[in-house]
A and B are shown apart, each in its own frame.
Chain A
Amino acid sequence: MRLLLRLLSTVLGLAVAAGGAVLAVEMTWSLAQPGSREALVPWRQWLATVESYSWSREPVLWLAGGVVALGLLLLLVAATARRKDVRLSDPADEVVVTTSPRTLARLVGTKVRAAEGVSGATVVATGKKVKVRANGRSTELRPSLAELVQSTVQDLPMPRHPKVRVAVAAPKNSRESS
């Protein structure tokens, strides 16, 4: 999302610059050569078209709706383009350590998959929550897996440890705990 934000920002900047350049060139051309044809774009024709439309016309309303949608999209991208770092404890003054949710998930996933009776597992992790869904021979594995995940997470040097949620799916039944 941060890459998309940077790309969008660049495109918007270019669009503003291009619009400004066209406006400056056309107005300068019109000032220097009154009555002559437009230099770059047929803006007189555009102006006449806009003049012929009232606010209540359908194309105007559709265009306005499109502009609102574009604005909301830009706001959404700007709001969601944030880093989702998992902060670890600071080992010293002036030193901060972070890791990614993916790394946290992989750490937990490796431990869970190595546990006896587990045939597979999916892990979704954030700095606040770690959700594990394991496939095993029996749902009775759940308490021991929950303990394993809890101890794996507790072992990490974190100022606040994420909550752990473990679900075990066994053939034909499943149980969940938090």
Chain B
Amino acid sequence: MRSPVKAIARSARAERVLTSLFGLLAVAAGALAIVVGLGWLGTFRSQRSVFDPLLAEWIAANPQWTKLIGIGLGIVLLVVGLLWTVRSLRPERQPDMLLSSSAAGRLKVTSGAVTDAVSADAESLAGVSRAKARLVGSAEEPALRLYLWLADGTDIRRIWQTLDTDVLARARSALGVDHLPTAIRLELDTSKPSRVS
């Protein structure tokens, strides 16, 4: 069962890890270059060419191997970079909900149908000015993310108490499921009331 905590927001862990690794690599490489350049590892090293003479000699002696290694490295970097970019740009998955699966077939409810119904139901609560629902996770382990915008002066505790017994209980009942991990986000609505002339 998917944890409702995971449904609070889209995870940025992959982006955070990759960016941190890149940052660490940059700090380590830059610091090492400074240490070598300032002569802390010996004056001889600091006077050597940035393009190491030993490496230059090996490249000159093995041009074919150098090019083949370059091609392989280039392809690896290209694939890794593209996967990384696609992972960062990919929109969050909104799975359809699998209600039953048997030899006779699978019964699914589309993500849009579930979220429209839950949003409309939540908006009918007194004090809720807007609602937006979203199914996240996978078809086998879906979770619900529900944003509720409350009108100014709404009693948050009352809304909090009725969420599970009203909105979510009805959603679970309508979908015929016992469990629906849910993360709810409460916000005060910032929209000003419209002026009537």
Contacts and interface: CB of A to CB of B under 8 A. Distances in A.
Contacts, number: 244
Contacts of A39: none
B173 to A, nearest CB: 14
Nearest to A22: B74
Contacts of B84: 9, 12-13, 16-17
A68 B16 CA distance: 18
Contacts of B39: 56
A47 B64 contact: no
Contacts of B16: 5, 78, 81
Contacts of B183: 95-98
Chain A interface size, as a band, is 35 or more
A77 B184 CA distance: 27
A103 B67 contact: no
A8 interface: yes
A23 B179 CA distance: 52
Interface of A: 2, 5-6, 8-10, 12-28, 30-31, 34, 47, 50-57, 60-61, 63-75, 77-79, 81, 83, 85, 88-89, 91-92, 94-100, 103, 106-107, 110, 155-157
Given A61-B37, A95-B182, A99-B186, 12 more contacts: A9-B88, A12-B22, A13-B85, A15-B81, A19-B77, A47-B51, A60-B37, A64-B31, A68-B34, A75-B20, A85-B8, A156-B156
13 contacts: A13-B81, A25-B74, A27-B74, A31-B68, A51-B50, A55-B46, A55-B47, A68-B27, A92-B164, A96-B4, A99-B156, A100-B187, A107-B156
Interface of B: 1, 4-5, 7-9, 12, 15-16, 18-20, 22-31, 33-34, 36-39, 45-51, 56, 63-64, 66-68, 70-71, 73-89, 152-153, 156-157, 160-161, 163-164, 168, 179-188
